[in-house]
Structure 1
Amino acid sequence: MNHPFTVAIVEDNYWAGKLLQSYCEQCGLEVISIVSDGQAFLRQYDEFRPDILLVDIGLQGDLDGISMVHSLREAGHRLKVIMVSGTTNIDHVLTAFHDLGSLYFLSKPVLFPKFQTAIQKAISEIEMERSSIAQAPEPKQSKWITVKNQKSQLPISEDSILYAEKEEKRLTRIHLVNGDRIEASTNLTDILAQSTPYLYSPFKGFLVNMRYVASYVKESGFPTSRRFLIHLKHTSAKIPLSRNLQKEFAQLLQELHR
């Protein structure tokens, strides 16, 4: 195997540490640290930050392997831990697995096939986690629209706008998803110029946020009507849609919600 992964060994027996180092090198891993003292390893952790930690339970100094890994977990470090020990104390084994999230518990003397299996499991988990991070979508950045509210400039997140309507010549009423309303002197054209394609003008005097369109239907009750009515989420209000814009509106709605 040849993997770009790093390993730290915390082992108070010199020859056991050298054996683990040899096994790591046979697996194509880079050993970046071998120490015998738990406190010493914690002090140098930020310098090395290994992918995998091989740690004995009994160590030199005041800190044993279980306490050392507890300290790492409490500090938020999620490196893969493989416990290595000659202990026969079942409580130590159970603690290692349940409290520390250990991948494996290797009993001394450590044989290479079992060591290799433990490393392969650690590598598989690391690769899966890295793949998940790489495939995760980047956080969406909000688009901000600035309107004039009385004598001040007020930024509004586009995502928070449900729809807007022209009330009179110099007044625009902006309806927000949370039910609030904002009175602004900025006209709909200026708002539209600052927005993404999600804000759309379906009828003169109106803007709707396409994110929140639930459906649209032909206006009923007026046989001669050539309009459609847009139903939005979060409100019972119906927004008019011009018949001339119906096809364009339907195509845009489909494209934005793919």
Structure 2
Amino acid sequence: MRELECDKRMSHRFTVAIVEDNYWVGKLLESYSEQCGLKVICIVSDGEQFIGMYNELQPDILLVDIGLEGNLDGITMVQSLRGAGYRQKVIMVSGTTNIEHVLTSFHDLGSVYFLSKPVMLPKFQAAIRKAIDEIQLERSQFIEVPKPKSATWITVKNQKSTLPISENSILFIEKEDKRLTRIHLMNGAQMASSTNLSDILAQSSPFMFSPFKGFLVNMRHVVSYVKESGFPTSRRFLIHLNHTAVKVPLSRNLQKEFARLLLETQ
């Protein structure tokens, strides 16, 4: 096959990670990537495995199939990465005819392109050009794309599967009953889980704090706390968080420890 003549936009060695469960499709995408001057840093078939590698790899571009091995599909994997604050360019690659998957890839995930299988070289080249154009535009305009610190991943049970969630994306968690916890996320979404609070806390950093029985709060998102009003005999405080109007209770006995930790996060 004739080697692709790549233009100057592709002369820089941008890095690409391929997340694809079909071996031969993965090798084809690797070949296309190399012809376009990209440096392929990994080919992974399992979404959860890739999340565990992401902090170290930090690729410029992701090529992601929707159907993957393991518990995570490609859409859920990218959603988890977005929740952790990662904003690398994503090109979805799939044989799906489900229009909802296509729309989700653009509206929810911010994909720059959707490649249908079988992937043809001209379409692949156009997708890479678009991704690189966006990267170079951001760099030329000195647009600061924040690089989050290494994320802490918390694995929770969600229905019949397990799901990794970035700790940074969690506002607070509350226990609803013996078998159910509810996880409140920065984007306003809520997720029910059968994972108990103690198991979640064991996976967390010191910034996840239990201010009151049945609650965990992410100290990174705390704005302030005030004494509960309206109840003269109340001995607790209420915690104000970013991104939500919900107030989380704080025990008076834990107020000093909470205040100390809050100072450390600021």
TM-score scaled by length of structure 1: 0.51
- TM-aligned CA deviation for residue 3 of structure 1: 2.1
Partner SS state of residue 55, structure 1: strand
Work out the CA distance in 1 between the residues paired with 2:63 and 2:27.
12
Work out the CA distance in 1 between the residues paired with 2:57 and 2:138.
20
Residue by residue, what CA displacement relative to the aligned partner does 1:196-225 show, whole Å, maximum 9, x if unpaired? xxxxxxxxxxxxxxxxxxxxxxxxxxxxxx
Work out the CA distance in 2 between the residues paired with 1:62 and 1:93.
20
**Partner letter of residue 80 of structure 2?**
S
Alignment correspondent of 2:258: none
Do structure 1's residue 44 and structure 2's residue 87 form an aligned pair? Answer: no
Partner SS state of residue 133, structure 1: coil
Partner SS state of residue 87, structure 1: coil
Work out the CA distance in 2 between the residues paired with 1:131 and 1:41.
30
**Partner letter of residue 102 of structure 1?**
S
Query: Which structure exhibits the higher relative contact order, with contacts defined as CA atoms closer than 8 Å and separated by 6 or more residues?
Result: 2
**Partner letter of residue 113 of structure 1?**
P
- TM-aligned CA deviation for residue 134 of structure 1: 7.5
Alignment correspondent of 2:127: 118
Alignment correspondent of 2:66: 57
Residue by residue, what CA displacement relative to the aligned partner does 1:34-56 show, whole Å, maximum 9, x if unpaired? 00000000000011100000000
- TM-aligned CA deviation for residue 80 of structure 1: 0.1
Residue by residue, what CA displacement relative to the aligned partner does 1:131-184 show, whole Å, maximum 9, x if unpaired? 12289xxxxxxxxxxxxxxxxxxxxxxxxxxxxxxxxxxxxxxxxxxxxxxxxx
> What are the ranges of 5 or more consecutive residues in structure 2 without an aligned counterpart?
1-5, 145-266
Partner SS state of residue 21, structure 1: helix
Residue by residue, what CA displacement relative to the aligned partner does 1:6-26 show, whole Å, maximum 9, x if unpaired? 000000000000000000000
Partner SS state of residue 114, structure 1: helix
Do structure 1's residue 71 and structure 2's residue 71 form an aligned pair? Answer: no
> What are the ranges of 5 or more consecutive residues in structure 1 without an aligned counterpart?
136-258
Work out the CA distance in 2 between the residues paired with 1:59 and 1:25.
23
Work out the CA distance in 1 between the residues paired with 2:135 and 2:113.
14
What's the % identity of the aligned pairs?
73
Alignment correspondent of 1:246: none
Alignment correspondent of 1:34: 43
Alignment correspondent of 1:81: 90
Work out the CA distance in 2 between the residues paired with 1:17 and 1:93.
20
User: For this pair of structures, how many residues does the alignment match?
Assistant: 135
Work out the CA distance in 2 between the residues paired with 1:125 and 1:83.
16
Work out the CA distance in 2 between the residues paired with 1:134 and 1:83.
24
TM-score scaled by length of structure 2: 0.50
Residue by residue, what CA displacement relative to the aligned partner does 1:53-88 show, whole Å, maximum 9, x if unpaired? 000000000000000000111111000000000001
Classify 1:134/1:39 alpha carbon distance in 2 versus 1 (closer, same or farther; 3 Å): closer
Classify 1:6/1:58 alpha carbon distance in 2 versus 1 (closer, same or farther; 3 Å): same
| Alignment match of 1:97 (pick from 103, 106, 129) | 106
Alignment correspondent of 2:264: none
Work out the CA distance in 1 between the residues paired with 2:22 and 2:112.
22
Partner SS state of residue 62, structure 2: strand
* Structure whose alpha-carbon radius of gyration is higher: 1
